Amino acid sequence: LNIGYVKLLCFFYWNLNINNNNSSNNNMPGPCDPDDLLDGVIFGAKYLGSTQLKSDKNPSTNARMKQAQEAVDRIKAPEGESQPMTEVDLFISTQRIKVLSADTQEAMMDHPLQMISYIADIGSIVVLMARRKLAVGRKGQEENPTGANSPGPQKKCCMICHVFNSDDAQVIAQAIGQAFGVAYQQFLHANGIKASELKPSEYSDYLGTQELYNGDLVHFSDSDNIREVSISKAPGEIVGVAVVESGWGSILPTVVVANLLHGGPAERCGALSIGDRIMSVNSTSLVGLPITTCQSIIRDLKNQAEVKLSIVHCPPVTMAIIKRPDPKFQLGFSVEDGIICSLMRGGIAERGGIRVGHRIIEINGQSVVATPHEKIIHILTNAVGEIHLKTMPASTYRLLTGQDTPVFL
Helix or strand or coil: residue 385? strand
What is the rounded CA–CA span in Å between residue 222 and residue 140?
6
Mean pLDDT calculated for residue range 71-86 = 86
Among 148, 135, 8, which residue's Cα sits nearest to residue 64? 8
What is the rounded CA–CA span in Å between residue 33 and residue 178?
10
Question: What does the mean pLDDT of the chain come to?
Answer: 75
CA 185 to chain centre: 20
| pLDDT tens digits, 36-56 | 888 889 999 999 988 888 877
Predicted pLDDT at 45: 93
What is the rounded CA–CA span in Å between residue 7 and residue 346?
12
Asked whether the beta carbons of 226 and 216 are under 8 A apart, the reply is: no
CA 323 to chain centre: 21
Pick from 23-32, 75-84, 236-245: least confident: 23-32
Asked whether the beta carbons of 162 and 47 are under 8 A apart, the reply is: yes
Predicted pLDDT at 3: 34
- CA-to-CA separations, 273 to 143, 247, 259, in angstroms, rounded: 30, 18, 8
| Residue 296 C-beta-side C-alpha neighbours within 13 Å | 5
Asked whether the beta carbons of 51 and 161 are under 8 A apart, the reply is: yes
Band (61; pLDDT cuts 50, 70, 90):
low
Whether residue 196 has pLDDT greater than 70 = no
CA dihedral 268, 270, 272, 274 (to 10 degrees): 80
| pLDDT tens digits, 201-246 | 443 444 445 555 555 555 666 667 788 889 998 988 999 898 887 7
- CA-to-CA separations, 295 to 10, 266, 267, in angstroms, rounded: 40, 15, 18
Listing DSSP states for 45-70 in one string gives: EEEEEEEEEEEESS--HHHHHHHHHH
